[in-house]
A = this chain, B = another copy of it.
Amino acid sequence: MDISEVSKQTGIPSSALRYYEQKGLLTSVREKGERRRYAPSVLDQLALIALGQAAGLSLDEIRSMLTPYGQPNIDRQLLVAKAEEIDTLIKRLKAVSNGLRHAAACPAPSHAECPSFQKLLKAAATGALEKRWGKTKLHAPRG
């Protein structure tokens, strides 16, 4: 497959593919000439990268889980740690979601006067201010 083929199939722009390769997350071959050609397994590798990103791993962290050949080579402890981090995040997000819904439905004339909104504020703030976040980060690509 050539780069545009991979790009088409995955939706990942070729610039990103080159970037991944430059970062050492991907391998390509130069069969003849200087153009990249990809083995079909590149799709799995990209899926793995996507998984890692969805889990909040940085590209550097993801690379550390790959062999030089792109085969997964996973640090199980890190995985569990990340899973726990995500679970914590989920809890906080649930609270935030409920909070938002409440805020949207709250009958108080101003939220400054709504006791449950105040409570929610406090709770969310506690999570957000106290901990000042771990490293957890879910990023929207393209920025």
Cβ proximity bits A93-134 to B, threshold 8 Å, 1 near / 0 not: 110111111011100001110000010111011011110111
Is B11 within 8 A of A130, CB to CB? Answer: yes
Residues of B within 8 Å of A44, CB to CB, are 112, 118, 121
Main secondary structure of the interface of A (DSSP, over half): helix
CB-based contact B93/A48 at 8 Å: no
A61 CB to nearest chain B CB (Å): 12
Chain B's closest residue to A130 (CB) is B11
Across the interface, which residues of B come within 8 angstroms of A86, CB to CB?
93, 96-97, 100
CA of A56 to CA of B110, assembled, Å: 22
Residues of B within 8 A of A112 (CB): 44, 71-72
Decide: A47 and B11 in contact? CB cutoff 8 A: no
A39 at the A/B interface (Cβ < 8 Å)? no
- Contact among B46, B74, B100, B103 with A129 in the assembled complex (CB-CB below 8 Å): B46
Q: Is A92 an interface residue (CB 8 A)?
A: yes
A3 within 8 A of B: no
Q: What residues of chain B lie closer than 8 Å to A71, measured between beta carbons? A: 110, 112
Q: Which 4 A-B pairs have the closest CB atoms?
A: A47-B125, A50-B128, A79-B104, A51-B124
